[in-house]
Amino acid sequence: MLCRDSVCRFVLMGLIVLFGLNGSVCLASTEITSEANNVNKLIIHTEAGKDTISPEIYGHFAEHLGRCIYGGFWVGEDSPIPNTRGIRNDVVEALKKINVPVIRWPGGCFADEYHWKDGIGLPQQRPSTVNSHWGMVTENNRFGTHEYMDLCEMLGCQAYISGNVGSGTPEEMHDWVEYMTFGGKSQMADLRRANGREQPWKVKYFAVGNENWGCGGNMTPEYYADLYKRFATYIRNYPGNNITKVACGPGWDDYKWFEVLLSSAAKSMDAISLHHYVFEGDWNHKGKATVFDEQGWFNTLKKTFFLDKMIVEIKKIMDKYDKEGRIGLFVDEWGTWWDVEEGENPGFLYQQNTLRDAVVAGCFLNIFNQHCDRVRMANIAQTCNVLQAMVLTKGEKMIVTPTYYIFEMYKVHQGAKYLPSDIVCNPYKSGSETLPSITASASKDKSGKIHISICNLNPEAPAELECSLEGFKVQKVTGRVLTADVMNAHNTFEEPDAVRPAEFKGIEIKDGKILATIPSKSVVVLAAE
């Protein structure tokens, strides 16, 4: 299987097939002559890089859902759990180590029924509301605009706010932007000052609604396009602040939505979103987080790679209406979605996080890197205690997940120059279906060091890899690996270090090439100097 970035070529019995991770299939055959012990070859073109991997590709998403905010980020100032102004110290310190570049908030479906004025002022005077999307629990609004912006400042990350289109008004959205970002004299700016914040904040990203085809209003693309232009008109750039306006895209391969929205509103947007969740079954029976077989492993990875096909098709539509490449694609919700853990509130979406989730995350991030010319932000769902979380908390206890370690290992790509690559790899087969056994992406940082992230999808077989860096003389290579003995290995509060990165040994430089054996079901990041 030969891959130019994400396009793979299989050498078959008397045939050559272009196989579509991006959808392009020329020929088909069932007999693949590649043997499992063939050496896989990765060729990195170190002088061909032209696009920068946006740090925001490694972004996060925090919704008022389950224990993501309350118990995850927020415990309140009177909590015995160590905190700073109500925000958990242990969670903040953990997230600092992975260089969180941006956090999307307050939703999600919650965003289109969130009225921001409920979350400002004295905490004890804020009204209680009902979180009708997620568990019908009472939302006390103790975590609002000031607390969110405080969190962003603690982490040193950008703010990405989803505005309320489904049940809100253009006036409400306009006032929120003015409240946060205007430094002069006005009713909203004075209200912010009265609530304890003298100087305006910087808000870099603002979305006009969330999933407006579904929980955000069940709209048609034509109707939403008109609403988008109306609402976006009133998102003002006040002195000292410049907002990237984000239009709502679909949550699956609905290319018509992109066509309609871009043909009507491209000039008034800076980015458009896409959501993509993966699981082993279907929406009603997604599968269990920790109980699965190899078929469940394969099915999940297959759905992960479908994202590549979608992005290729979406980029064609974007190129049609935005030839200059000004508009970014924000995959601002992505990740694994499993059936809720037994005994948990089904509306809280709490799930465990295994080695399978980590390998999926590595594959996702490699895809985003490969498409960094258009993909300029991605936000994993979600940061704490919900879906494919970075951290899990239980009272005063906190653990980090295998997925957290992927973000920690991959942070070297943030802001680096993407390096195109070719890969010849053995297939990973399940019945009549085939995936590449290896995916990879590479980048060069400002110091000139090259980082290569590699995923071995095969849970049974290690992969012999020969890596050539064209135009670069390798002097030294180091690496780290994340793997485990079993596919469903995961960290628990009793065994918090069951899955964690280790030094990757056995790397050899021979004839200017890097030689290594990539363990089965693993993610490896190499650093070449």
Q: Which of 63, 139, 147, 333 is catalytic?
A: 333
Alpha carbon 187 to chain centroid distance?
37
Residue with tokens 């925000």: 87
Measured CA to CA in angstroms, residue 501 lies from 392, 408, 413, 484 at distances of 18, 9, 17, 10
Query: Quick one: tokens of 303?
Result: 């759905």
Burial of 150 (0-12, 13-18, 19+ CB in 10 A): middle
Q: Can you name the residues that pair with 454 across neighbouring β-strands?
A: 440, 524
Residue 139 is a catalytic residue: no
Query: How far is Cα 366 from Cα 357, in angstroms, rounded to an integer?
Result: 14
Residue 171 is a catalytic residue: no
Q: Which of 139, 211, 280, 408 is catalytic?
A: 211
Query: How far is Cα 385 from Cα 382, in angstroms, rounded to an integer?
Result: 7
Residue with tokens 């109500």: 86
Residue with tokens 């995850």: 72
For residue 125, whether the previous peptide bond is cis, meaning omega lies within 30 degrees of 0, is: no
Query: How far is Cα 388 from Cα 379, in angstroms, rounded to an integer?
Result: 11
- Strands 271-278, 328-336: pairing kind: parallel
19 with 25: CB under 8 angstroms?
Answer: yes
Q: Which helix (DSSP H) or strand (DSSP E) does residue 451 occupy?
A: strand 450-456
Q: Three-state SS across 291-324?
A: CCCHHHHHHHHHHHHHHHHHHHHHHHHHHHHCCC
Angle between helix axes 355-370 and 402-410 (nearest 10 degrees) is 30
Q: Three-state SS across 199-266?
A: CCCCCCEEEECCCCCCCCCCCCHHHHHHHHHHHHHCCCCCCCCCCEEEECCCCCCCHHHHHHHHHHHH
Query: Quick one: tokens of 12?
Result: 């078959």
Report which of 461, 84, 78, 104 is spatially closest to residue 248, judged by C-alpha positions. Answer: 104
For residue 184, whether the previous peptide bond is cis, meaning omega lies within 30 degrees of 0, is: no
Measured CA to CA in angstroms, residue 156 lies from 57, 110, 237, 320 at distances of 16, 25, 22, 36
Query: How far is Cα 94 from Cα 367, in angstroms, rounded to an integer?
Result: 25
205 with 102: CB under 8 angstroms?
Answer: yes
Give me the active site residues, please. 211, 333
